[in-house]
Amino acid sequence: MSRSQGAAAAALRREPSPPGDEGREFEFSDADFRALAKLAYEHAGISLGEGKRNLVYTRISRRLRTLGLATFQDYRAFLSQDRKEIENFINSISTNLTRFFRESHHFDHLREHIAAKFISRPLAARRLRIWSAGCSTGEEPYTIAAVLQREIRDVARYDVRILATDIDTEVLRKASAGEYGVNSLEEIPNIYREFFPVARDDSGKGQIFIDEATKELIAFRRLNLMDPWPFQGLFDAIFCRNVMIYFDGPTKENLIERFTNQVKPGGFLYIGHSESLLGRHDGLQLVGRTIYRREA
């Protein structure tokens, strides 16, 4: 090999493999993709179309490296033998992007229509149940908690609970820890900063540490939305935002019907910005941007 050919070969080795290129670290056949997409659908309702091929390759390649496996076929065999790997597989496949006060108009609505009205209720009726379904790393339920704490100053005195669930055990671990980089403060309006205390170490590096009083308002649980739900009562509000985008039409339809039945008459369902139900759905009335009220 000439010197220039050698340099070109070395440059190629340094370059990341472009998507769809044979130079990929692992061979990834149609059958591999189809088998993994089928598993994601069967276990989590997550619908992975052709456009997600590279996503699956990239995320599952990490599992292959961690497990020291040489091929996707080996990984598929491992998945069928070790049922615990399904959990890691789903954790790897799920997309967990979130932030504090995401789609902030939902929290203005929560403050005005639920939190502010709470105090005027008779003492015996001061009970509130809110569900953050698909809570990811916790920013959504902690935002809900901050809104309730600011509006209902002595909230701990009342029967107020936020249930925060996700299928991904890894994000739930982070959510329960309640520790976030200080950069996340930028997402939080000034009036709510008091609920996101920052501690700094000797070098001045800061971290948000959610306090115990806030954590006590929230129960983090693993729940696959595709499974039967273990609830006895209904919720005053359900947040299921930016979760249904990963599901296909029939799965989404079914879920919306279940959410409708799980929210109290007069209660609210908040969905993500790209998840409009086209203005109406049986039993639900559109009352704001991506906000639905269950008919009383």
Ligand X SMILES: C[S@@+](CC[C@H](N)C(=O)[O-])C[C@H]1O[C@@H](n2cnc3c(N)ncnc32)[C@H](O)[C@@H]1O
Based on CB atoms, which residue is closest to ligand X, 148 or 244?
Answer: 244
148 CB neighbour count, 10 Å cutoff: 23
In whole angstroms, give the CA distance from residue 172 to residue 178. 10
Contact with ligand X (CB under 6 A) among 106, 129, 215, 241:
241
Based on CB atoms, which residue is closest to ligand X, 146 or 243?
Answer: 243
Based on CB atoms, which residue is closest to ligand X, 78 or 229?
Answer: 229
Q: What x/- string results for residues 268 through 287 when contact with ligand X is judged by CB under 6 A?
A: ----x---------------
Active-site residue, 222 included: no
Tell me the window of 21-29, 63-71, 162-170, 211-219 that interacts with ligand X (CB under 6 A): 162-170
Based on CB atoms, which residue is closest to ligand X, 114 or 171?
Answer: 171
Question: Cα angle at 221 between 52 and 108, to 5 degrees?
Answer: 80
List of residues 6+ apart from 75 with CB closer than 8 A? 60, 63, 64, 67, 69
Pairing of strands 179-181, 206-209: antiparallel
- Nearest Cα residue to 246 out of 142, 126, 96: 96
In whole angstroms, give the CA distance from residue 123 to residue 204. 45
The count of residues interacting with ligand X (CB under 6 A) is: 24
Q: What x/- string results for residues 62 through 101 when contact with ligand X is judged by CB under 6 A?
A: --------------------------------xxxxx---
Q: Which residue in the list 32, 129, 166, 236 is annotated as catalytic?
A: 166
Helices (DSSP H) in the chain: which residue ranges? 3-14, 30-44, 53-67, 72-81, 85-93, 105-110, 116-118, 139-151, 169-177, 212-215, 249-262
- 134: contact with ligand X by CB under 6 A: yes
Based on CB atoms, which residue is closest to ligand X, 26 or 60?
Answer: 60
Closest separation between CB of residue 59 and ligand X, Å? Answer: 13
Tell me the window of 112-120, 201-209, 239-247, 261-269 that interacts with ligand X (CB under 6 A): 239-247
Q: Which amino acid is at 201?
A: D
Active-site residue, 173 included: no
- Nearest Cα residue to 64 out of 45, 85, 49: 85
Say if residue 174 is exposed, middle or buried (CB neighbours under 10 Å; 0-12, 13-18, 19+): middle
List of residues 6+ apart from 204 with CB closer than 8 A? none
Closest separation between CB of residue 242 and ligand X, Å? Answer: 4
- 171: contact with ligand X by CB under 6 A: yes
Contact with ligand X (CB under 6 A) among 107, 163, 168, 263:
168
Positive or negative, the Cα torsion across 227, 273, 263, 100? positive
Contact with ligand X (CB under 6 A) among 60, 163, 210, 225:
225
Based on CB atoms, which residue is closest to ligand X, 114 or 271?
Answer: 271
In whole angstroms, give the CA distance from residue 147 to residue 111. 6
- 61: contact with ligand X by CB under 6 A: no
Would you tell me which residues interact with ligand X (CB under 6 A)?
44-46, 94-98, 102, 134, 136, 140, 166-168, 171, 224-226, 241-243, 246, 272
Catalytic residues: 59, 166
